[in-house]
Structures are given as structure tokens and as C-alpha cells.
């Protein structure tokens, strides 16, 4: 191997260099027009949630509960148990198999219930114009929120309570009872029994007007659904934001797409469903319960998206 002498000469010259040149930076101001608007079209989720035609529901079992009174509300607790509220009556705690565990020891005539955390629920008492916050572990009322109007439907989301106060008003409160916002809504029903708060949207049923409405936090209507409904009552949402409605007078369960544009009948009277008043999904699951209007049975169902 023979080394080229030119390489050694080049290396010697490089070592003797003190500078390789100059770097000149020129700075100029330029206006940038950036698009900061939020696009209305959802991305992957929209394709999944909009395809409600693939959604199916089947009744796994019907469990007699024989409460024997009109039911106004029902929720699935995080631990799998179920709370069924008699209309202006008692609050019943049931096992996941529909067995009466006990009546929650709170005085007054309850109407609606929601869960705040693992151990805490909140219940409306319209005749007292109060919301009572109840600890399930030590069975005590930890706070009473007093309102200036009768209170009915109740939901909890994003650390705030959403409560229907009368025919045309829904109010948002913090857990101390401070009013965060009050919005005006439309409804032909005298009492807003059923509502949910999902992704900064409030959805409520109007059983007299045969409609389901979706509004934003300012009360602006996003959509309404009035197609072929007969006495819509209880509501719940699936993981994609689609609304599942207990259409009481027609004895059907109907799913309405997240944008309010499409619907599908999931179960009807021919499949053994009668007078569904309330519906709820288990926490982070695709199964849940339907409660009959007169408190005779719970129907346990499974929900599939195809």
C-alpha cells in the first residue's frame, strides 16, 4: 500500500487554518396565517359511531324485582350494582342479579339519581327543592344543596351536576351547590326527568313532545330527533356518543346516532319488552339494564356494534 503525498499536504494546510469563513444570519419578520379553527368533521371515531346499522341488542335475561311502583330513574353503579328510584318514593339498591339488597336510608321523596364517584351518589328531591349527596359506605347524607326551584332529572360529568329545574331550564352546579351556568331549553313535558351530559353536550328527552334534544353548554340546539318516537324516557350513551333511548309508549329501545341524523330500533315489543322507562349501561361495558315502568322487572341486555 502506497500513500499519496497529496493527502498529507492537504491535512497540513487544514491544521493551519484559523477560520473556514463567515456565517451571516439575516432576520426578517413575516406574518404567518395559521388555521386555528376546529374542524367539525370527526376523524376515525365518526366512521365507527355513525354506522349504527351494525349495532344490535339482545335481552339476556329478565329478572323480577316487583317494586310495584312507578319508576322514575335507574343507574348502574361502578361496582356492578343497580339503583332503582321509585317516582317520588324510595331509593332501592339491587344486586347485579336484580335482588333487593336494601332501601337506601334517606328520607324524602326521590326522583332522579346519579353517581359522583365510587362511594358517592346524588339524588334529587323536588318537593324539598334539594339535591342530597349521599355516601354509600357510611350511609350518611354528606351535603344538601338547596335550590330555589323544583329539581328533577340529574346527571354528573366533569365535576359538575346537571339538573333539570322545570320545563325549560337546565342548571349546572359544582359540588358545593354553586351555580356555574343556567340555560334555557325547549320541552313540552312539564318535568325534565331524563338527561345526560356527554362531551360538553346535554341530551334530554321530551316524552310529551315525542322528541330528544341535544344542546351545547350555552343552550344552543345542536340537533333534535322527532322521528317516530312515542314517549321517550330514559337515556344513556354508548362509547361513541350514540344515544340509546327507552321509547316507553311504543315499547322499543332506539339508538340515535351521535349527530342526531339516523336511528335504528334495537328491541321492540315482539321481543318481550314492555313499557321501558329507564336504561343504563354498566361502567365501561357493553351490557346493561332496562327497567320496566311499573317496577316489575329488570331486563339485562348485551349491546354489540357488529
Query: In this structure, how many other beta carbons lie within 10 angstroms of the beta carbon of residue 110?
Result: 25
Cell numbers placing 259: 349527530
Distance CA 126, CA 50 (A): 37
Distance CA 75, CA 111 (A): 12
What 3 state SS string does 115-176 have? EEECCEEEEEECCCCEEEEEECCCCEEEEEEECCCCCCCEEEECCEEEEEEECCEEEEECCC
Q: Does pLDDT of 23 surpass 80?
A: no
**pLDDT, mean of residues 272-294:** 92
Which H helix or E strand runs over 81? none
Count how many Cα atoms sit within 13 Å of the Cα of residue 261 in the half-sphere of its side chain.
5
Q: What percent of the chain has pLDDT over 90?
A: 70
Averaged pLDDT, 247-261? 95
Q: How confident is the model at residue 16 (pLDDT cuts 50, 70, 90)?
A: low
Give backbone dihedrals phi and psi of 48, rounded to 5 degrees, phi first.
Answer: -75, -50
- 26 vs 286, which has greater pLDDT? 286
- All 3 cell numbers of residue 68? 310495584
Which pLDDT value is given to residue 40?
33
**276 forms bridges with which residues in the sheet?**
292
For 121-130, what is each residue's pLDDT tens digit?
999 999 999 9
CB-CB contact of 17 with 220 (8 Å): no
pLDDT at 188: 86
**Nearest to 51, CA basis, from 250, 238, 216:** 238
Residue pointed to by grid coordinates 334530554:
204
Do residues 242 and 256 make contact, with C-beta atoms less than 8 angstroms apart? yes
Gyration radius (Cα) of the chain, Å: 29
61 CB-near residues (< 8 Å, 6+ apart): 299, 300
Residues facing 160 on adjacent strands: 157
Mean pLDDT, rounded, for 292-306? 91
> Which cell numbers hold the place of 13?
494546510
- Cβ burial of 132 (10 Å; 0-12, 13-18, 19+) is buried
Mean of the per-residue pLDDT values for the chain?
86
Query: Which string of DSSP letters, residue by residue, matches 209-256?
Result: TTEEEEEETTS-EEEEE-TT-SSEEEEEE-TTS-EEEEETTTTEEEEE
SS3 for 50-71, per residue?
A: HCHHHCEEEEEEEEECCCCCCE
How many Å apart are CA 137 and CA 67, to the nearest integer? 24
Mean pLDDT of all residues in 9-30: 58
Q: What is the pLDDT of residue 13?
A: 61
Distance in angstroms (rounded) separating the CA atoms of residues 182 and 175: 15
pLDDT score at 271: 84
Above 50 in pLDDT, residue 47? no
pLDDT at 180 over 50: yes
Q: How many CB atoms lie within 10 A of CB 120?
A: 17
Amino acid at each position: 500500500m502506497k500513500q499519496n503525498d497529496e493527502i498529507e499536504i492537504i491535512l497540513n494546510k487544514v491544521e493551519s487554518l484559523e477560520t473556514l469563513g463567515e456565517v451571516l444570519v439575516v432576520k426578517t419578520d413575516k406574518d404567518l396565517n395559521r388555521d386555528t379553527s376546529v374542524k367539525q368533521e370527526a376523524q376515525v371515531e365518526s366512521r365507527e359511531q355513525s354506522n349504527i346499522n351494525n349495532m344490535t341488542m339482545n335481552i339476556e335475561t329478565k329478572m323480577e324485582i316487583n317494586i310495584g311502583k312507578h319508576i322514575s330513574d335507574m343507574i348502574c353503579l361502578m361496582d356492578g350494582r343497580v339503583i332503582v328510584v321509585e317516582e317520588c318514593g324510595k331509593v332501592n339498591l339491587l344486586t347485579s342479579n336484580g335482588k333487593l339488597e336494601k332501601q337506601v336510608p334517606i328520607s324524602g321523596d326521590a326522583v332522579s339519581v346519579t353517581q359522583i364517584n365510587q362511594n358517592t351518589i346524588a339524588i334529587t328531591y323536588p318537593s324539598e327543592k334539594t339535591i342530597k349527596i349521599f355516601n354509600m359506605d357510611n350511609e350518611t347524607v354528606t351535603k344538601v344543596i338547596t335550590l330555589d326551584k323544583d329539581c328533577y332529572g340529574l346527571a354528573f360529568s366533569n365535576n359538575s351536576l346537571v339538573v333539570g329545574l322545570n320545563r325549560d331550564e337546565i342548571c349546572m352546579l359544582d359540588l358545593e351547590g354553586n351555580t356555574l351556568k343556567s340555560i334555557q331549553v325547549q320541552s313540552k313535558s312539564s318535568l325534565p326527568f331524563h338527561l345526560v351530559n356527554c362531551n360538553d353536550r346535554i341530551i334530554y328527552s321530551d316524552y310529551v313532545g315525542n322528541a330528544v334534544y341535544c344542546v351545547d353548554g350555552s343552550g344552543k340546539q345542536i340537533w333534535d330527533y322527532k322521528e317516530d318516537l312515542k314517549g321517550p324516557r330514559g337515556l344513556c350513551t354508548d362509547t361513541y356518543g350514540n344515544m340509546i333511548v327507552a321509547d316507553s309508549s311504543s315499547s322499543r329501545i332506539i339508538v340515535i346516532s351521535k349527530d342526531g341524523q339516523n336511528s335504528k330500533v334495537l328491541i321492540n315489543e315482539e321481543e318481550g319488552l314492555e313499557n321501558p322507562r329507564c336504561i343504563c349501561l354498566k361502567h365501561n361495558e357493553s351490557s346493561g339494564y332496562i327497567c320496566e315502568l311499573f317496577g316489575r322487572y329488570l331486563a339485562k341486555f348485551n349491546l354489540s356494534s357488529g
